[in-house]
Structure 1
Amino acid sequence: MSGTSLIRTAVAADAPRLAELLGQLGYPTDAVSAATRLTRLLADPSAAVFVACRGSDVCGLATVQSHVALNRDAPSVQLTLLVVADALRGSGVGRALVSAAEDWTRHHGADRLVVTTAAHRAGAHAFYERLGYALTGRRYAREL
C-alpha cells in the first residue's frame, strides 16, 4: 500500500473496516456495533467521521465533535478518535486525517481543535507535539 491517502467522509459500508481499526487501537468492536455508532455520528451535524483510503482500502479513521461552552465565544472541536492501520503508522496518514479535522474545525466556525489521548500512548503524544499541539491540561474519567 503506497501512495497518497484520499480523505473522505465515512459511509455505512466502511463499518467492518472501522471495527478492525478500532481493534488495532485497543477498542475491540464488532462490525454491527461499529455500524450503529457510525450511523449515529453521521446523523449528528456537530460531528464528522473521516476515513483515509489508499486505493480502495480504508487505512485510517478520525472523528471530530463540536461543542459550545459558556467560557468561549467560538465553539471548540474535539478530535475524539484517531487511528491509522498498524502497517501505515508513520507514513503521513495520521497527519492527513488531522489536517482534515483542522479544516472541518475552521469550516464550522471553531477556533481550536482539542485532542485527548490516553496517558500510556507516548507515541501519540509525540505525534501531536510534532504537529504543533501543546499539552494544556489533564483529562479525568470515571466509568458510571
Structure 2
Amino acid sequence: MSLIELHEAAGCEPVVWGPDRTRDWWRAWTASTRVSGAEFRVLARDTTGGCVALWLVDANPPVVYLGADGEAAVLAADLDDYAALLASGATPGAAAAAGLPAVRAAQAAYPEFPAHAWRPEPVAAIRWATADDAEDLTTLIATMGYEVGAADVAGRLRTLPDSGHAVYVAVTDRITGWVHVLISHSLIVGTRAELGGLAVAQTRAGAGSALLATAERWAVRHGATSMYVRSGAHRTEAHGFYGRRGYTVRTTQLALTKPLTPPD
C-alpha cells in the first residue's frame, strides 16, 4: 500500500501543505507569531486535528506527531519505518502514546524533539539544506571572506555524502545562517565531528547558537565524542562565541595547503 492509502486506512487525511499553510498551523499550535514551521513538512492530519510531519533534521528525516492537545513525539526514524508502523494497524496518535518498542527506539535517537517542539518562542527554524538554498548560502559564505559561486555551492550540496556530512540552514522569513558538520576518523583521536563552516547574517537573533546545537546533536547521533573547530586567529568575535558554548583552545596551528593535479 502507498503512504496515502496507509494514512486513509488509519483514519488520517493526507495533506500537501505549502510553506504558508504550514507556518499558519505551526503558529496556531505553538501560540507564537514568530515561528515559521520551516523545519517541518506535514504529511497528514488525524481526526483529532493532530499532524504527522517529517522533521527535516536529517537527509532521511524522522516522522513526528504533533497532537491537537500539545502532544509532541517522534513516531519513526524514517518514512519506511513509519509506513511499517501504519501497516501494523497503529494510528499516529495511539502510536505516540503506546510506547511501542520501535517507537521508543526512534525517540531515543531524537531525545531533544519534545522540548524543541514545545519551545514557545524558537528564534529560527533549523532544517536540512538543499541545493535550492545555494544563492542564500553563497551570500552568507561571502561574509566569511570566501568567494564561491552559487553553482559550485549547489553542486557540492548535491554530492556531499549523507552518511558523514550534514548541512543545516536557519530560517525565519529567510535563510539567516548555515552550518556544515562532518565526521572524521583518526588513529590518534578516534571518531570526532568537525565544523566545516558556520555563518549567520547580521540580524541573526540566536541562529548561530541554534545551528551549533543542531550540529552537535547530529554529531552525537553519528558516534562523535567531541567537536573540532578551526577558527582564524583574527576572528576574535567567533572565538568568544565558541568559548561561551563550552569550546576551549587546545592548540594553535599553521594551516598548510597544496594544490593537487592528477597525473598525466
TM-score under structure 1 length normalisation: 0.89
Matches within 5 A, 1:1-144: 4-41=123-160, 43-55=161-173, 57-73=174-190, 75-88=191-204, 91-144=205-258
Give the root-mean-square deviation of aligned CA atoms: 1.4
SS at match of 1:120: coil
What residue ranges of structure 2 are gaps of 5+ in the alignment?
1-33, 36-122, 259-264
Which range moves more in the overlay, 4-13 or 64-73?
64-73
| Amino acid of the structure 2 residue aligned with 1:108 | H
1:139, 1:92 → 2: CA distance? 30
- Select the structure of larger CA radius of gyration: 2
SS at match of 1:87: coil
2:178, 2:159 → 1: CA distance? 16
TM-score under structure 2 length normalisation: 0.50
CA deviation string 1:48-81 (max 9, x = no partner): 10111013x11101001101111234x1000110
Superposed structure 1 runs of 4+ greater than 3 Å apart: none
Kindly indicate whether structure 1 or structure 2 has the higher relative contact order, using CA contacts under 8 Å at least 6 residues apart.
1
Aligned pairs, how many?
138
Counting aligned pairs with the same residue, the percent is: 36
1:44, 1:92 → 2: CA distance? 26
**Contact 2:169/2:211 (8 A) holds in 1:** yes
